[in-house]
Amino acid sequence: MMKNDVVAQWTEMSKSAVEALQQITHANAEAMGSLMQNQLSSKNLGELLKTAMTSAKDFREMNTNAFNTLLQKQFSMVDLNGSADAVKELGEIGSSTMKKFVEQQTALITLYMETNATYLEEVKNAKSAEDLVGAQTKLFGDLQSKMKDNTLQTLQTLEALKTAIGAWSEKAVDSATGK
């Protein structure tokens, strides 16, 4: 009976975690879409920077809200008297992961802003079409490389989250079943 309760709680907490990650992903997609839209028509650098800063702020707020909602749902599902340490540990895992995600996404937004500023400077300094094409090629190559690095860091964060939650859940099940 106890084992079924633990499994049911774990299932509900997993659903809540998936919902939170979906909210975060949606916010990230909106922020990146807005940033890319302004970057593609970079007629107004001020508007691009304003959008980037607003997107970063909105993304941070969405992450915080999603994480807080997730923790509230998890707290309501767990018998806190018997598993306060496990919930605290899960909260630390989630908090650490969210911090890494926010840092990585902020770094990506900063990268877009810096690349756009560099591009605009190159356009201003270009003396010929060849100079401009050369600058574009270099900038886009650098951007692609940095985006790849950022994606790999995000995947590493997800793998670390998977490992940490796996260890946490095994420990929680062992604790609940008396192993």
> Any idea which of 4-18, 31-45, 114-128 has the lowest mean pLDDT?
31-45
The confidence band for 65, taking pLDDT boundaries of 50, 70 and 90, is: confident
The answer on pLDDT for 105 being more than 80 is: yes
Structure-model confidence comparison of residues 33 and 95, the more confident one: 95
Tokens 């992450």: give the residue. 63
- Residue 159 has a pLDDT of 92
Which residue segment(s) compose the domain that 92 sits in? 2-177
Tell me the percentage of the chain whose pLDDT exceeds 70.
Answer: 68
The answer on pLDDT for 80 being more than 60 is: no
The confidence band for 163, taking pLDDT boundaries of 50, 70 and 90, is: very high
| Interacting residues of 104 by C-beta distance below 8 A, sequence separation 6+ | 150, 153, 154, 157
- Residue 2 has a pLDDT of 47
Total tally of structural domains belonging to the chain: 1
- Domain containing residue 83: CATH number: 1.20.120
pLDDT (tens digit per residue) in 31-64: 666 666 655 555 566 666 666 677 667 667 766 7
Burial 110-124 (b: 16+ CB within 10 A, else e): ebbbebbeebeebee
